Amino acid sequence: MPEKTEKIWFDGRLVDWDHAKVHVLVHGLHYGSGVFEGIRCYKTRKGPAIFRLKAHLERFYNSAKVYFMKIPFTREELSNAIKELIKVNKLEECYIRPIAFRGLGKMGVDPTGNPVNVAVAVWPWGEYLGKGAREKGVRCTVSSWVRINNSMLPMTAKATGQYINSMLATMEAHLKGFDEAIMLDSRGFVSEGSGENLFMVKNNVIFTPAVESSILLGVTRNTVITLASDMGYRVIEKNISKDEIFSADELFFTGTAAEVTPIVEVDHRSIGNGKVGPVTKEIMDKFFNVIREANESYKGWFDFVK
C-alpha cells in the first residue's frame, strides 16, 4: 500500500482515503479502459511546486482522446483539484496519480455510454527503483517480453490496460534478481524500461530511442533532453541496438517515478566501469538542482501549490 494520506479527490469531491472505492463491475477493472498520469510535487526553495503539471495534463487529455474518453472536468478544474488535494493532505512533496476510467454500465467490451470516473490520489513516494538506486545505480535485464507497438496500441497514450505488458517485463526482471527490465521494440531495437525511458552515453554524446521505438514520450525524457542540450551536450534520438547498450559508457533511466536513475549493469555486463558515470551524475545533479531551486530559466515547469 502506498503511504496513506487523508483525502482522495473523487469525481469532484474530497473523500476519505478509506472511502475512495468503486464497484467490482466497473469497465476499467475488467478491460483496462483507463488513462492515468504520474506527476511529482517537489519541495522547492520557493515552496511546494508541481513539476511540469501542464505537460502531464496535456498527455492525460490526449490519452483520453485517443480512447474516445471525455473527461468530465476541465484542465483548470483538475489543476485546481490537484493543488487543493496537496494542501488538504498537508504535503510538501508527493507523487500525484490522476486516473480517469470507464465506470459502471454495460459489461461488453465497447464502453460507449458508460460514465467516465476521475480520481486523484497523492502520497509520499521516495526512490521508485529502490532506496539508494540513485547513488549506486540499478541492475537490469533485457526482457523476453517485447514492447507492444504502435500498430497494436497507441504507445504515446498512458492507458492502464497497456501496462500489463510492462508488468510482465518487470515481474520477470524481479524474479530473475534484477531491479528493472529493458524492453526491446518489435523490430529488436531498445525501447524503454517498464515505466521509464532510457538514455545511453557514448563518447560524451547522449542517445535515446525515438518515438518509432514504441516509447511513451516521457515528460522527464523531454526535461532531460532540454537540460542536457542547455548544458552543451549533443542529444540524438535514434534506433539503439541491444549490443550498443552493452558497450555504452553510461546508461540511465528517466521517469516521473524513477526521476533520473543510473543503470550500472545489464545482464551481468558492467556498463562502463560499473559505477554511476560522470555524465549521468552531472545530469542528475542538474535535474535536482533545477527542481530544488525552482530555477527561473525554466519557470514554466513549476506550478506552485500555494
Active site members: 158
Instruction: Give residues in contact with ligand PLP (CB under 6 A).
Output: 38, 166, 192, 195-197, 216, 218-221, 254-256
Which amino acid does the sequence have at 82? I
Closest residue by Cα to residue 3 from 87, 135, 91: 91
Coil, strand or helix at 80: helix
Q: Which is nearer to ligand PLP, 37 or 250 (CB)?
A: 37
CB of 111 or CB of 195, closer to ligand PLP: 195
* Three-state DSSP state, 24: coil
179, amino acid identity: D
At its nearest, how many Å lie between ligand PLP and the CB of residue 36? Answer: 9
Look at residues 25, 84, 27, 77 and name the one whose alpha carbon lies nearest to residue 50. 84
Q: Which is nearer to ligand PLP, 33 or 220 (CB)?
A: 220
**Residue 61 CB, nearest approach to ligand PLP (Å):** 14
Give just the sign of the alpha carbon dihedral 194, 195, 196, 197.
positive
Tell how far CA 260 is from the center of its chain.
11
CB 75 to ligand PLP: min, Å:
17
Cβ atoms of 220 and 255 within 8 Å: the answer is yes
- Least distance in angstroms from the C-beta of 4 to ligand PLP: 23
Q: Which is nearer to ligand PLP, 7 or 225 (CB)?
A: 225
Residue number of the CB closest to ligand PLP reads 218
Spatial contact of 263 and 253, defined as CB atoms under 8 Å apart: yes
